Structure 1
Amino acid sequence: MGTHVIKMPDIGEGIAEVELSVWHVKVGDMVVEDQVLADVMTDKAMVDIPSPVHGKVIALGGQPGEVMAVGSVLISIEVEGAGNVKESAQPAPVKEAPVAAAKVETVVESKPVAAPAPKAAVCQGPMVARAADERPLASPAVRKHALDLGIQLRLVRGSGPAGRVLHEDLDAYLAQGQSNASAPVAAAYAQRTDEQQIPVIGMRRKIAQRMQDATQRAAHFSYVEEIDVTAVEELRAHLNEKHGATRGKLTLLPFLVRAMVVALRDFPQMNARYDDEAQVITRLGAVHVGVATQSDVGLMVPVVRHAEARSLWDSATEIARLANAARNGKASRDELSGSTITLTSLGALGGIVSTPVLNLPEVAIVGVNKIVERPMVIKGQIVIRKMMNLSSSFDHRVVDGMDAALFIQAIRGLLEQPATLFVE
């Protein structure tokens, strides 16, 4: 028998160290070639480290949350034969794969064990007796739907991946006649003294670092503008009715991307990156729009590349593809980097006003709030219109306040007269 030592591989892009995010094996486990041993986090994405050999795990080189240098010992495996005396001069190949939802439990526990099966996935029936402090997996839209229906999500069995609660699960819960009254009243009002400590590691640590860095380095200022989206919503509904079956349904996001692309022709200083160390602003002709997307492991920003060259349906298809990849943990590092300006939206949860944080080194981020119907005075008459706020933030070191206001008002004009989106 011999020992095969696997070192932290060189992932490329000049990365000198990575964070060990989660182990998928423990000491004593038998592993096979190409089995994923661990996930590590770079500045941009989660990366799988597979095993190059068959054997038995005899030592782990670090704990989740530990920052490890490239070339340091990651894991030792007992193998048949002499092993690798030179300690893996050729490091194990890496597979790029942002962490999936089922791995979150392992990150929270911060122990070098494989991720357990989510409890919700093995429960039977429409109701689940989750622990009071257990947060079920669900999208923001599902959480809002449950809130509107008066349903406690922790009581609903999830049928989605990793036990995720879907809209269909809420319908099934209601169909079974369950309600909040089915929960024990005594438990609902019982005093609680429990505490939970959750290590900030992996994707959550990267998000925290980027947000803190952005607020410390950039001189943020926000500008909010109200937009009448009645006309563009009518156009969207018409296009979906006419072409939805063959080209796919359009959301408002492709129209927003198009409006940004057209407005940037007159305001190129918004489509820029600022290197504050070199004191250089780089304005870009290509418009690579980052679309902020919520996933089970935190906020990701997949990038719609060359939005300036895409039609509405092309943008819609790419936005949907990237959002699905991000939510399912399949987005690559290239798909999560290289944006020049960011679009962020909370959809139905968009609220009235928000103050989005810049995605450095970008200098502008356009935030979308929810659409509401309101009475408006037009030509002396009170009419009902669909209104929406854009809450956008800018780097005041680079962008002047008047330019920011004019840029957003240009987007407003394009959306309120949607034919102008396509006039060259």
Structure 2
Amino acid sequence: MAKFIFKMPDVGEGVAEAEVVEWHVKVGDRVEEDQHLVDVMTDKATIDIESPVAGTVVEVAGEVGDVIAIGSMLLVIEVAQEEGGEASEEQAEAAAEQIEDDMSDAEGADDKEPEPATVLPEPAEWSSFTPAEAEQEKGRASTSSARTDHKVLASPAVRQRARDLGIDLGEVKPAEDGRVRHGDLDAFLAYNAGSGFGTAGKARGDETIKVIGLRKRIAQNMAAAKRHIPHFTYVEECDVTALEELRADLNSARGDKPKLTMLPLLIRAICKVVPDYPMINARYDDEAGVVKRYGSVHLGMAAQTDAGLMVPVIRDAQSRNLWQLAREIVRLAEAARSGKATSEELSGSTLTITSLGPLGGVATTPVINRPEVAIIGPNRIVERPMFVSDGMGGERIAKRKLMNISISCDHRVVDGHNAASFVQGIKRLIETPALLLVD
């Protein structure tokens, strides 16, 4: 037998290290050639690494969350020697080189996000059991649905909840197949609320969750942004009544075009104002002491996903019409949520917009997407009474739709007057929306 040291392959130009996101093997496991070994993350792309050889894993480098340099030992595999006594290490090295060739273009690896390993899930009712407990409970359930007060079929989580609530599981009637579930406890509580079982809710157990992968990248980026950038935030109130009427009119005649939300209209306004304030659409290299101002608006669009916050980029937003913007917003948001966004689609933004839609609140103080120098945050639309012109030199009270726009800027690059003037330019356009359609 010989030991083959499998080193972290080169997963892309400019990538010096990768973070271990998930191990699919452990010491002692037998692996085959091309078997999925580990998932690693570089920047925002997750890459699966396969074994170049067959053998037995005898050592792995680090745990989930650890960062491993390119070229450092990833794991050690014990491989069989060939007949002549020569180890098959040369073949393994050749296979490893092939893996590096396959992954040498980081963009290529990023462009095609690896599909997660297929795992057949256990039925939900067994998910809280250890494998041994699950098999034991499955056997009980399949051989008999009989139950007594002392022998009730329920997962450990259900049992713990029942103990916390002071409920005897023997008194709970299961809805199906003899197994007590959380829904059965809920029904029992509702029926017996008058007996003192009604509660305001259940306490959750304490959890310790390791910060890894995309969540770790987000934490690092946000901390770096707040640590290095002196933020200031400016908020302005805008009357979007006419803009909402325009949006409704455009949607009513859109045909097969995508439905317009408020976002494409805001992006259109931003792109029309940016040329007058080039320091807003810029990136600041604080180490080199250089600000690069961009002619094109590559607009980052903060999108919430199950994995965390991602920022896909609308390229050349200033060159797209409203319908093209709407279509690109939908496409990029779906790509981000499904994990199919490419590295190019997740990098290179020059300015970012972040919106929580109806959850947007009254005002926000968004954190700048470093190394950009500004981030724009439209807030929730609310209806309020306002004094408006009655057309005869007087005023009347009318119901209007209002929305606050927040902008956070890097005070090293953007002055308060410029930020305020930039937002006032956007306000003028969205309060007179016909100007948005004039080139």
TM-score range, shorter chain: 0.7 to 0.9
Note closer, same or farther for the CA distance 1:419–1:19 as it changes in structure 2 (3 Å cut): same
Over residues 262-284 of structure 1, what are the superposed CA-to-partner deviations in whole Å (9 max), with x where a residue is unaligned?
01011111000011111111001
What is aligned with 1:69? Answer: 69
SS at match of 1:270: coil
- Deviates most, 375-384 or 57-66: 57-66
**Could you tell me how far apart the structure 2 residues matched to 1:205 and 1:45 are?**
13
What is aligned with 1:412? Answer: 427
Decide which of 242, 247, 254 is 2:253's aligned counterpart: 242
Decide which of 379, 382, 386 is 2:397's aligned counterpart: 382
What is aligned with 2:358? Answer: 348
- Deviates most, 380-389 or 45-54: 45-54
Q: Give the drift of 1:74.
A: 1.6
**Could you tell me how far apart the structure 2 residues matched to 1:420 and 1:180 are?**
59
What is aligned with 1:195? Answer: 206
TM-score, normalised with respect to structure 1: 0.77
1:209 equivalent to 2:220? Answer: yes
What is aligned with 1:83? Answer: 88
Q: Give the drift of 1:41.
A: 1.9
Q: Give the drift of 1:344.
A: 0.2
- Deviates most, 200-209 or 183-192: 183-192
Letter in 2 for 1:220: H
**Is the Cα–Cα contact under 8 Å of residues 7 and 91 in structure 1 kept in the other structure?**
no
What is aligned with 2:232? Answer: 221
**Could you tell me how far apart the structure 1 residues matched to 2:35 and 2:362 are?**
48
TM-score, normalised with respect to structure 2: 0.74
What is aligned with 2:276? Answer: 266
- Show the 5 A alignment for 1:67-216: 67-77=67-77, 82-85=87-90, 87=93, 88-92=96-100, 93-94=102-103, 95-96=109-110, 117=121, 181=190, 186=197, 188=199, 192=203, 194-216=205-227
What is aligned with 1:371? Answer: 381
- Show the 5 A alignment for 1:221-370: 221-243=232-254, 245-370=255-380
**Could you tell me how far apart the structure 1 residues matched to 2:227 and 2:58 are?**
44
What is aligned with 1:149? Answer: none
Note closer, same or farther for the CA distance 1:89–1:3 as it changes in structure 2 (3 Å cut): farther
Note closer, same or farther for the CA distance 1:190–1:281 as it changes in structure 2 (3 Å cut): closer
Letter in 2 for 1:359: N
SS at match of 1:339: coil
What is aligned with 2:147? Answer: none
Letter in 1 for 2:241: T
**Could you tell me how far apart the structure 2 residues matched to 1:292 and 1:118 are?**
35
Note closer, same or farther for the CA distance 1:388–1:321 as it changes in structure 2 (3 Å cut): same
Q: Give the drift of 1:60.
A: 2.3
SS at match of 1:268: coil
SS at match of 1:331: coil
**Is the Cα–Cα contact under 8 Å of residues 7 and 73 in structure 1 kept in the other structure?**
yes
What is aligned with 1:10? Answer: 10
**Is the Cα–Cα contact under 8 Å of residues 99 and 329 in structure 1 kept in the other structure?**
no
Q: Give the drift of 1:11.
A: 2.0
**Is the Cα–Cα contact under 8 Å of residues 366 and 407 in structure 2 kept in the other structure?**
yes
SS at match of 1:385: strand
Q: Give the drift of 1:178.
A: 8.4
Over residues 128-184 of structure 1, what are the superposed CA-to-partner deviations in whole Å (9 max), with x where a residue is unaligned?
99959xxxxxxxxxxxxxxxxxxxxxxxxxxxxxxxxxxxxxxxx9xxx98994798
Over residues 298-350 of structure 1, what are the superposed CA-to-partner deviations in whole Å (9 max), with x where a residue is unaligned?
11001001101111111111111111111111111111110000000011211
Q: Give the drift of 1:59.
A: 3.5
> How many residues in Structure 1 have an aligned counterpart in Structure 2?
365
Note closer, same or farther for the CA distance 1:8–1:250 as it changes in structure 2 (3 Å cut): same
**Is the Cα–Cα contact under 8 Å of residues 240 and 403 in structure 2 kept in the other structure?**
yes
Greater CA radius of gyration, 1 or 2?
Answer: 2
**Is the Cα–Cα contact under 8 Å of residues 17 and 70 in structure 2 kept in the other structure?**
yes
- Deviates most, 194-203 or 251-260: 194-203
**Could you tell me how far apart the structure 1 residues matched to 2:189 and 2:277 are?**
52
**Is the Cα–Cα contact under 8 Å of residues 373 and 386 in structure 1 kept in the other structure?**
yes
What is aligned with 1:391? Answer: 406
Note closer, same or farther for the CA distance 1:256–1:71 as it changes in structure 2 (3 Å cut): same
Note closer, same or farther for the CA distance 1:394–1:181 as it changes in structure 2 (3 Å cut): farther
Q: Give the drift of 1:44.
A: 3.5
1:400 equivalent to 2:415? Answer: yes
Note closer, same or farther for the CA distance 1:120–1:339 as it changes in structure 2 (3 Å cut): farther
What is aligned with 2:162? Answer: none
Note closer, same or farther for the CA distance 1:419–1:7 as it changes in structure 2 (3 Å cut): same
Over residues 104-137 of structure 1, what are the superposed CA-to-partner deviations in whole Å (9 max), with x where a residue is unaligned?
xxxxxxxxxx9784876999xxxx99959xxxxx
**Is the Cα–Cα contact under 8 Å of residues 273 and 283 in structure 1 kept in the other structure?**
yes
